[in-house]
């Protein structure tokens, strides 16, 4: 598969980490996470790594260096690796656009809201909402299609831009099968750019799986 690169976008707690872990364990993908880059910035600036501080420092950094700054950094790191790479946690339109311009397919992951909230509670990450009301507020902030601020996350618009959409509405094994289809399609086509639209044989459309 060489240095194939994928990027993942999607709302909080929709199965992105599980998808990336499967790509790593079964196919040898290295996993690079946007939030780890942001956490590094926060640590260097003396901020905590809870959701509020990460949002503040990432916005300030993007306003100075441009909304695509973190995507620039992680893309350079991905291109330097000799193995397949999956970039997790793309959340801005500018990030999706930069990656697509580099020939990297962006995969959108979705999941019903109630199931997402249960996953979020189970992972217990600092700063995550603990009530459904708090979770709905987070969804309104990060996923509104009406938010056109280039420096703020807009998962709704990122999903609209995605080349492929994986609907995570079944069992874990069903998600794994969809991820297998994704990875094996990359192997069969032999390249990243344009693979969504160049499937051959009798396989169904790959726009949504």
The CATH number linked to 124 is 3.40.50.300
Distance, in Å, from the CA atom of 121 to the CA atom of 130, rounded to the nearest integer, reads: 6
pLDDT at 145: 65
Continuous segment of H or E residues that includes residue 196: none
- The verdict on residue 84 lying in a domain is yes
Give whichever of 35-39, 51-55, 73-77, 148-152 has the largest mean pLDDT.
73-77
- The verdict on residue 202 lying in a domain is no
- Percent of the chain exceeding pLDDT 90 equals 43
- The verdict on residue 14 lying in a domain is yes
Summarised one tens digit per residue, pLDDT across range 29-51 is 999 999 888 888 888 888 777 77
Q: Which tokens sit at 131?
A: 């009530």
With a CB cutoff of 8 Å and minimum separation 6, the contacts of 11 are: 110, 111, 116, 139, 142, 143, 155
Supply the range of the domain harboring residue 155.
Answer: 5-197
Distance, in Å, from the CA atom of 209 to the CA atom of 207, rounded to the nearest integer, reads: 7
- The verdict on residue 102 lying in a domain is yes
With a CB cutoff of 8 Å and minimum separation 6, the contacts of 65 are: none
Continuous segment of H or E residues that includes residue 110: strand 106-110
User: How many domains does the chain divide into?
Assistant: 1
State the Rg of the chain over Cα: 17
């Amino acid at each position: 598969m060489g240095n194939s690169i994928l990027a993942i976008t999607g709302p909080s707690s929709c199965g992105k980490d599980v998808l990336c872990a499967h790509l790593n364990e079964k196919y040898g993908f290295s996993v690079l996470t946007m939030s780890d880059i942001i956490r590094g910035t926060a640590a260097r600036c003396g901020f905590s790594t809870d959701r509020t501080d990460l949002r503040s420092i990432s916005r300030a950094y993007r306003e100075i260096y441009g909304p695509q700054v973190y995507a620039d950094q992680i893309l350079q790191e991905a291109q330097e690796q000799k193995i397949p790479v999956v970039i997790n946690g793309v959340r801005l339109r500018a990030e999706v656009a930069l990656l697509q311009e580099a020939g990297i397919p962006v995969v959108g992951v979705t999941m019903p809201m109630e199931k997402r909230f249960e996953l979020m509670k189970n992972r217990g990450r600092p700063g995550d909402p603990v009530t459904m009301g708090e979770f709905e507020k987070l969804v309104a902030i990060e996923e509104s299609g009406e938010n056109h601020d280039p420096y703020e996350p807009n998962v709704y618009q990122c999903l609209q831009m995605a080349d492929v959409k994986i609907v995570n509405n079944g069992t874990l094994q069903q998600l794994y099968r969809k991820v297998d289809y994704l990875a094996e399609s990359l192997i069969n086509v032999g390249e990243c750019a344009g693979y969504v639209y160049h499937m051959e044989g009798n396989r169904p459309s790959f726009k949504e799986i």
